[in-house]
Amino acid sequence: MDNENGEEVILNTSEESVDLDTTQEESEEEFDWKTEALKQKQIAENQKIRAEKLERKAKEGGREVVKETKSSSASTEDLYALMKADIPQEDIADVREYAQFKGISIAEALQTGAVRSILAEKVEQRTVASATNTGNSKRSSGKISDEALLANANSGKLPENDADLNRLVQLKMKQGAGRR
C-alpha cells in the first residue's frame, strides 16, 4: 500500500489487534467488579449504622450533643466562672480541655477535685519558679567599704579573708596616726 507521498506503508493490523485484546482481558481479570461492589456496599452500610447511632444518641441525650457541637469559645457563664475563680490565662486551656473531655461546663469543671489539684500544682510550680533565681546575675566582688570594715571590726566582727584583714590594719594605722 502506498501513501500520498509515494512511500510504501505496511499495515500489520492483525498483530496489533491481538495485542490490544490480550491487554483488555488482563486488565479485566485484575479488576474484579463484584468484590469492588461488595466493598462499596459494606462501606455504605457502615455509614448508615453510624448515622443511626448518632440519631439515637441525639434523641436520648440532646443536651450532650449540643455541648459537643458548640464552638470552642466559652460561654459568658464559663468566662464569669473563670474570672471569679481567678484562673491564670495559662491554665484556662487545661480547664477547658478537661471540661470538654468530661462533657461538662467549665464552671462545673472548676468545682471538681481533679481540676482543683491541677491548678494548685501549677500555682505551686509558679511560686517555686519565681522564688528560684534563674537569671545570670553576677555576684558582687564582696569588697566591703572602708567604713563598713571599720564598723564591723569595732563591733567585734573581723573579716575572714586576708585582703580585708590587711585593709583593716592599714585603716586602723591611719586612724591611730590621725589622732596623734
pLDDT digits (tens, 9 = 90+) for 107-127: 899 999 999 999 999 999 988
CB count within 10 Å of CB 27 equals 9
The model's pTM is 0.36
For 97-106, the pLDDT digits (tens) are: 999 999 998 9
Give 70's DSSP letter: S
Structural domain count, the chain: 3
For range 126-135, the mean pLDDT: 79
- The per-residue pLDDT of the chain, averaged, comes to 77
How far is it, in rounded angstroms, from Cα 165 to Cα 159? Answer: 6
How far is it, in rounded angstroms, from Cα 95 to Cα 82? Answer: 9
Please give the grid coordinates belonging to residue 70.
458548640
Range of the domain at 166: 146-174
> Which pLDDT value is given to residue 135?
64
How far is it, in rounded angstroms, from Cα 138 to Cα 160? Answer: 21
CB-based burial label for 106 (10 Å; 0-12, 13-18, 19+): buried
Instruction: Confirm whether 139 is domain-assigned.
Output: no
Instruction: Confirm whether 28 is domain-assigned.
Output: no
Whether residue 77 is found in the same domain as residue 106: yes
Instruction: Confirm whether 21 is domain-assigned.
Output: no
Single out the residue of 118, 76, 83 nearest to residue 97, CA to CA: 118
